Amino acid sequence: MATIVLFHHVQGLTPGVQAMAAQLRAAGHAVHTLDLFAGKLPKDLEAGIRMANKLSEDKIQERVDKLFSKLPEELVYIGTSWGAALAQQCAQQRPGAVAAILLESFVGLDAEWSFGPWPENVPVQIHGMDEDPFFAKEGDLEAAQDFAQGEGRELAQLFTYPGNKHLFTDSSLRSHDPEARALVMERMIKFLEPYA
């Protein structure tokens, strides 16, 4: 059984994020969700970005540390979009990372605000749509491709899906793509099998 921390995107801890957590629990894992927006669910991406920007790094860190104080060091980090950046930061900077799954976002290791080198022996999956205006058009996809093809990156898997939707993995939003999400979940659960 893996112990997973699942970070939500900028529209909050939606029913779709909770449904993902439930599927991962059904696959045999312990999943912990952290509501960084204290119950608020922004109506759209723009409102969510505004809310995320209002949260100070100190406040985010305080809420993250409170959750982590109750968990073992060995964790799998999963996040979507804004939450994927938080998951990636944890995977790269916290000791004990077991694996990471980054949905619809990737911060290049040589980006201006990168999180440092990728830790050895920490496998990672990256998923996103090939025409997503955020993931594909703002450099995340290209950075993920460079990362996955880099020397010694046998533990990195990159999967792209046809389409231009952002937050397509959230089953409670209009951007949801059921077929692509089902494939993402299938690949995630298979990826996590060694830890079940």
- Output the pLDDT for position 113: 78
- Output the pLDDT for position 5: 97
Which residue, 7, 34, 18, 28, is CA-closest to 192? 28
- Output the pLDDT for position 148: 93
User: 103: how many CB neighbours lie within 10 A of its CB?
Assistant: 28
Q: Please state, in angstroms and rounded to a whole number, the distance separating the CA atoms of residues 147 and 108.
A: 7
- Output the pLDDT for position 105: 97
Q: How confident is the model over 84-129, as pLDDT tens digits? A: 999 999 999 999 999 999 999 999 998 887 899 999 899 999 999 9
The pTM of this model reads 0.94
- Output the pLDDT for position 48: 86
Contact 97, 110 (CB under 8 A): no
- Burial classification of residue 169, based on how many CB atoms lie within 10 Å of its CB (0-12 exposed, 13-18 middle, 19 or more buried): buried
Q: Which domains does the chain have, with CATH numbers?
A: 3-195 (3.40.50.1820)
Which residue, 176, 171, 187, 160, is CA-closest to 78? 187
- Output the pLDDT for position 57: 79
- Output the pLDDT for position 167: 97
- Output the pLDDT for position 20: 98
- Output the pLDDT for position 152: 63
The segments of the chain whose pLDDT lies below 70 read 152
